[in-house]
Structure 1
């Protein structure tokens, strides 16, 4: 199954229709302002003007979509379930919603929690235009005060990092208490993002949940007490307007993220997970692995391993390694 990292045409066209109405100079200024906020750590800063929202759609939406798509790709490899209902906490413009629909077209009813009116309308209109069979309901605009719905799939992407510690714990407790099947959390691939995912992982296990991805075990994370952190990276192509707005020389960007998918049912089999870029040498490949025994280790696969070596050459950071 191929990863669907690039935005579908309907999303590309929708975003470009917004961008075409604005002078590129103004859009670039908004994009620079947005980038500076992220670099300064102001990821929670509310977007104000419509121009800022459009800059977000043009510069950040493709990358977060790629991260969500990568996560759903790994989940789809582990389950053949057809989810029909989804609850997304902190939806933004519906990034998780549209990525999920690429992998789970069986979705019929979607609930979102979002406070930004511009993004809510973007999500509503896009669903009406391209997924008329899908029903959307905005539960509330405040994730801290929402009465959660029991659904097949609960998601939160780049949202829980906006909460204080007490609020974070309360929301997580509520999610796990109503979880019917699968809960998926995605955060930035930073030490802080990983620390939040680690907390969610520990809380999930205390509620008798099981890892579906990426963890191949329910033991203590082997990176928890090291200087490293568990995260993954997806490379996605940049559009010409994206390159212009970000003053980027490269025609691609790498989006780093951490995630955890908690299941009510124990998955099998659990396979070693590749937790870094494979290092390809002459005649062999070196992998950094998180193993099903709960260890962070390295494994070398050489040409002498025959078919196994040929298959390993196609593996990337975030994939499973079948021994």
Structure 2
């Protein structure tokens, strides 16, 4: 089957996802979609984990997919890019998407590699829509994925796999279920990618997951340049990043405004059982560009948090600093 599919390309995959979602929303009355999104946002921002599927029927699932899939896709895409930077020669042959719902993370993986993907979720309507979207992707999405219903809890057991993704799932689980899911991912996978909202509590869940992954013997590949204790003093700040997301007509209807994009804030961790080359340092805030200098806030491998000034006198490094983005590694890798 891989001989007949197009080569992985994240931009092509993103375009195919946008087209598929637009076609789905066109089949729903606008008010119905907007009302479903508003209810789901209230649930998403709630503090109580739920043991029941959040996505109850097709209208819920279509609204969720149109509203959240592009943002989740871009956040996971960024995390996978960091994994590729740390392990450029590694290619997964198998992938398990825990709590994958309609498959946003699986679409992101499909944009990077051709893998055998299994999507696990407890919502049958989400799985059904994910299967439908992927089947209509022309091979750009996870068209060969196996969509399986599974309860994401302490009872979860998965087979050995190269890559596990867990995106925007941990908030929906109890603490015991979170611990069990991350522990099971660490046991089964060669690489684990976990993404959560870029909020203080999302970062706390990422740190707890990171601690479990390191305790299980994995090495942090990204975003951290080390596997030691996070240098951020608990409660003083939180580590998060940003991904640019194209806004659909449904986004604009629900949120108001006319901008064609928004920025998705997310926190993440990538950890592996194979050797990786983490960044020497990572830019943890938007670079501050001033006349003749650029201020970079960094998390470093040996000196913890640091702020450096890159001045015009530094020539090529100054140009690189002006072009650098929040979340990039620093210094930039040399061209091959």
Q: In the TM superposition, what is the alpha-carbon distance from 1:166 to its structure 2 partner?
A: 1.6
Of 247, 253, 270, which aligns to 1:238? 247
Of 121, 126, 131, which aligns to 1:114? 121
Preserved CA contact (<8 Å) 1:59 1:246: no
The aligned counterpart of 2:133 is 126
The aligned counterpart of 2:272 is 263
TM-score (norm 1): 0.91
1:159 aligns with 2:165: no
- What per-residue deviation string (whole Å, max 9, x for no partner) do you get for residues 2-31 of structure 1? x94796232222212221122222222222
Preserved CA contact (<8 Å) 2:231 2:304: yes
Change (3 A) 1:169 1:277: same
- What per-residue deviation string (whole Å, max 9, x for no partner) do you get for residues 263-316 of structure 1? 112322531001111111111110111001151110110111100111111111
Unaligned 5+ segments in structure 2 are 1-8
Q: SS of the residue aligned with 1:259?
A: strand
- What per-residue deviation string (whole Å, max 9, x for no partner) do you get for residues 200-256 of structure 1? 111222222111110101221011435101111112221334312322343221111
Change (3 A) 1:141 1:147: same
1:89 aligns with 2:95: no
The aligned counterpart of 2:44 is 38
Give the whole-Å Cα distance in 2 for the aligned partners of 1:56 and 1:251.
Answer: 19
Q: In the TM superposition, what is the alpha-carbon distance from 1:97 to its structure 2 partner?
A: 0.3
Q: SS of the residue aligned with 1:197?
A: helix
Change (3 A) 1:102 1:32: same
Preserved CA contact (<8 Å) 2:92 2:163: yes
Q: SS of the residue aligned with 2:298?
A: strand
The aligned counterpart of 2:4 is none
Change (3 A) 1:23 1:123: closer
Change (3 A) 1:143 1:11: same
Change (3 A) 1:133 1:167: closer
User: Comparing 302-311 with 162-171, which one deviates more in the overlay?
Assistant: 162-171
Give the whole-Å Cα distance in 2 for the aligned partners of 1:254 and 1:41.
Answer: 23
User: Comparing 221-230 with 138-147, which one deviates more in the overlay?
Assistant: 138-147
TM-score (norm 2): 0.87
Preserved CA contact (<8 Å) 2:131 2:147: no
Give the whole-Å Cα distance in 2 for the aligned partners of 1:198 and 1:227.
Answer: 14
1:58 aligns with 2:56: no
Give the whole-Å Cα distance in 2 for the aligned partners of 1:113 and 1:54.
Answer: 18
The aligned counterpart of 2:22 is 16
Mapping 1:1-323, distance limit 5 Å: 4=10, 8-41=14-47, 46-79=54-87, 80-104=89-113, 106-107=114-115, 109-129=116-136, 130-131=138-139, 135-144=144-153, 145-179=155-189, 181-268=190-277, 270-322=279-331
Preserved CA contact (<8 Å) 2:61 2:129: no
Preserved CA contact (<8 Å) 2:222 2:278: no
Change (3 A) 1:249 1:37: farther
The aligned counterpart of 2:5 is none
User: Comparing 301-310 with 34-43, which one deviates more in the overlay?
Assistant: 34-43
Preserved CA contact (<8 Å) 1:217 1:294: no
Question: How many residue pairs get matched?
Answer: 318
